[in-house]
Amino acid sequence: MSYAYASQFMEGVSQVMQLNRTDVLLDVGCGVGSLTALLSKRVARVTAFDISPEMIKEAKEISKAKNITYSLGDATKLSTYEEYRNSFDKVVAHFALHWMKDYKTALEGIYQSLKPDGQCFMNMSQQKSNLLDTMIVLNSYTSPKWETFMKGYEHHYYPFKGSVDEFKQMLACIGFKDIDCIEEIVKVLFKNDEAKAVFPTFMGQLERFPEDKKEEYIKDALTFAFHTFNGEYCMTVPLIRAVARK
């Protein structure tokens, strides 16, 4: 996620969730840490949590703020991490849940990691737009010259298939209260260089490629997905956004 892109979503977080200088915050699925860096300026401490060692490495390069602790782990196993239980005033899961096949278990872990009356912000994409098609293309693009690296790879993207009311009901069943849940359509415009920086963060298959092949593969994948590699790219993101308390 580019810094400008993260700033756009940081505004949304700030509008719906009150961040305090005394807050201890968990950033679930922090990715490259652009949003983490912004969050760290609003709260006392942040634990940035991701399953990918590569993402954690990049996040550490983006921000070395002393109030950020970077942690490697699986969000679907969050409820088993005793050190996180009842530990956080705020939890943010931004663009993270739809990368998890068992996102309900991740939500249960988020609930357990919050302190009583703690607040969380979460969003995940819905299965009803070209975003899904774009993610599938970028996560599964291959051609004869890339078959060696892509053999056996399956893309991982699991947008929510139900309605806002169904998402809200799922949160209520877990135990969340004061649930504010809405649909949100976000349009993000990327220039060429921004697209090359942002979209690879969606492409788990890049772990299969040697460093000297990644840039060429990214260019091919973006060309295939958008039919051009010049100018700007517009990504329309249909989201379910929710704010809730424990």
Q: What angle do CA 198, 94, 13 make, to 5 degrees?
A: 110
DSSP helix/strand/coil, 64? coil
Give the confidence band of 141 by pLDDT, cuts at 50, 70, 90.
confident
Distance of alpha carbon 27 from the chain centroid: 9
Residue 3: which H helix or E strand, with range? helix 3-16
Pairing of strands 88-94, 68-72: unpaired
pLDDT interval class at 237 (50, 70, 90): confident
Side chain identity at residue 29, one-letter code: G
Each residue's pLDDT tens digit, 168-197: 999 999 999 999 999 987 776 677 777 777
Mean pLDDT, range 212-240, rounded to an integer: 76
The percentage of the chain sitting over the pLDDT mark of 90, rounded to a whole number, equals 51
Average predicted confidence (pLDDT) for the chain: 86
Q: Which H or E element spans position 14? A: helix 3-16
Q: Does domain 3-245 have CATH number 3.40.50.150?
A: yes
Looking at residue 230, the DSSP 8-state letter turns out to be S
Alpha-helical segments (H) within 81-210: 103-113, 130-140, 147-150, 164-174, 192-198
Distance between CA atoms of residues 235 and 187, nearest Å: 6
* Best CA proximity match to 149, nearest among 219, 215, 208, 221: 208
Tell me the domain boundaries of the chain: 3-245
- Please give the Cα distance from 93 to 95 (Å, whole number): 7
Q: What is the pLDDT of residue 206?
A: 87
Can you give the pLDDT at residue 39?
95
Q: What 3-state DSSP class applies to 41?
A: coil
Query: For residue 115, what pLDDT is reported?
Result: 98
Q: What is the dihedral of CA 103, 108, 110, 114, to 10 degrees?
A: 170
What integer is the mean pLDDT of 117-141? 76
Starting at the earlier edge strand, list the strands of the sheet with 177-191: 68-72, 45-50, 24-28, 88-94, 114-125, 232-245, 177-191
Q: Which of 88, 7, 4 is nearest to 44 (CA)?
A: 88
Give the pLDDT of residue 131: 56
Which pLDDT band, with edges at 50, 70 and 90, does 4 fall under?
low
42: left (phi over 0), alpha (psi -120 to 50) or beta: alpha
Which pTM does this prediction carry? 0.79
**Bigger pLDDT: 6 vs 14:** 14
Give the model confidence (pLDDT) of 67-105 as tens digits. 999 999 999 999 999 999 999 999 999 989 988 989 999
pLDDT at 85: 97
